[in-house]
Amino acid sequence: MPGTVLLLAASPVGRGRLVDAAGVLPVLAAVAPAVLSGADTANVVELADPLEPQAVLTRLRAAAAAPGPLTVYLTGQLHLDRRQHRPHLALARTTAATVRYTALPWHWIREELRLRSAADTALVVDLHADTEAWKHITEQGLDCGPYTAVYGRVAPPARRGPAEPAYMKTVATLLRSGHRPPLGVLHEQALGRIPEETRGNLLLAHAGGWTAPAGGSATPAPAGPAVPLGTGPAGGAPGTAAPGLAAPGFPVPGLAVPGLSVPDPEPPAPWGPAADRSGDCFADRSCDPSGDRPGESSGRQSADPDPDPHAAISAAVRGGLHREADGLAARYEEAAVRAHGAGSEQALHWREVRADLAMFAGDPVRSCRAWLAVAEARLAAGQPANAPAVEAAVDRAHHQWGRVEDPARARELGLALARLRLTVPGRRRGALENVQRQLGRLQAAP
């Protein structure tokens, strides 16, 4: 099966540029697609200094939806938005004052890759952080998601002028030999060639783990709330489990997917509070940003041979088995409700998964209704209206509502969405007005 490669190099134009990101693309482009991917053949998409976050999101989503292995080579710089202090990848038009609106939120990347498996999904990154982002990442780590393998480095801001993407250029040079070793080996080879350039950097290895200064040590910083782990790398090394979990994984209820067949499970182990979600796009159907996938943290245990349920669900979706995928998620939701209660984060997580599965199945009515229910459940549990998880649930309901074609269903869901928007206006200006305007058109229609 052919692989997919996304080459993304982005940095601002002008004085805010910390790294000459696009300078690495000619070197990467000289590598054969099959070598970049590690597959027999591959499709390569190149984005050089893109302008709009939504354009990047569209390309990333298409790459994530493609069958076969996916490797994203990402070079750029990180900043924090001033309101919520979350990492963003700066794009060509990004300035310190416009990070929130012109940069790509890092959690969008995690979100788009969240239903893929670490066995066939990898990020190779060469990132530079400004002063605030560097402090944030050294204290909290850089969450790349629980099921995405990640290798690379994050560097502090250079003292003089834009820095060179030395790590990515070294990776590209090694790949030009015509052979791609396992990414962990490639990562070590690259670091071995540029020890001075990476001294004091934060090194990323494996999925969703914590980062420590090169040549030193640091207290592990959890990448996010704990989740039950499966067979892929998730938290520093394959088989790493999060604190509070009795076992690193749990089996998947009866689901027949090629290559996946496991017995019925015990109820899923608990994981921590759902992380943030946020999005800016409503009427634009090409844009559906949202936030965090629960991450994981450190703490080593032996690897568990059972596949995690998210990987099985992802396989079912890619195979077109949407009903089976939803049935599997429903069984985990029921188990979480029995074990922890309907308003628990465990149950709400699976409701969110099912809302996304409805979107993948092309059922915006069911997806919109599910996201509205999640938002209402979070508010009923006492979460504030500006909590990222609440805002994101309403934003995603808004996006899915924009895809509903049946006028009667659109009016019904639009009234519920408008009521929620009075309480949860969200990040984007004019969200409530957008709903009211569209409702007016629907009500005026015969």
Residue 229 has pLDDT above 50, yes or no: no
Number of alpha carbons in the 13 Å side-chain half-sphere of residue 149: 18
Q: What percent of the chain has pLDDT over 70?
A: 77
Which one-letter amino acid corresponds to residue 302?
A: S
> Can you give the pLDDT at residue 308?
66
Residue with token string 């070197």: 27
| Structure confidence by residue, pLDDT tens digits, 193-222 | 999 999 999 998 875 433 333 333 333 333
Residue/partner pairs of 347-352 with CB below 8 Å, 24 or more apart: 348/274, 348/374, 348/377, 348/378, 349/271, 349/274, 349/294, 351/377, 352/274, 352/393
Which one-letter amino acid corresponds to residue 344?
A: S
Q: What percent of the chain has pLDDT over 90?
A: 40
All residues at 6 or more sequence positions from 106 whose CB lies less than 8 Å from its CB, including other chains: 78, 86, 87, 88, 89, 142, 143
Q: pLDDT band at residue 307, thresholds of 50, 70 and 90?
A: low
> Can you give the pLDDT at residue 166?
93
| Structure confidence by residue, pLDDT tens digits, 17-51 | 999 999 999 999 999 999 999 888 899 999 999 99
Longest alpha-carbon distance in the chain: 70
Query: What integer best gives the mean pLDDT of the chain?
Result: 76
Higher pLDDT, 213 or 382: 382
Residue 57 has pLDDT above 80, yes or no: yes
Q: pLDDT band at residue 295, thresholds of 50, 70 and 90?
A: very low
Q: Find the mean pLDDT for residues 46-64.
A: 90
Q: Identify the DSSP state of 406.
A: -
Listed range (53-67, 103-117, 262-276) with the worst mean pLDDT? 262-276
* Structure token digits, residue 426: 């969200």
Residue 263 has pLDDT above 60, yes or no: no
State the pTM of this model.
Answer: 0.59
Residue 430 has pLDDT above 50, yes or no: yes
Computed from CA positions of residues 434, 276, 231, 174, in that sequence, does the dihedral angle turn out positive or negative?
Answer: positive
> Can you give the pLDDT at residue 72?
96
Strand partners, 213: 202
| Structure confidence by residue, pLDDT tens digits, 101-147 | 899 999 888 888 877 777 888 999 999 999 999 999 988 888 887 77
Residue 410 has pLDDT above 60, yes or no: yes
Q: Find the mean pLDDT for residues 300-327.
A: 72
> Can you give the pLDDT at residue 68?
85
Select from 187, 190, 185, 188 the least CA-distant residue to 173: 190
Q: pLDDT band at residue 434, thresholds of 50, 70 and 90?
A: confident
Residue 63 has pLDDT above 60, yes or no: yes
> Can you give the pLDDT at residue 425?
87
> Can you give the pLDDT at residue 258?
35
Are 116 and 229 in contact, with CB atoms under 8 Å apart? no
Higher pLDDT, 158 or 190: 190
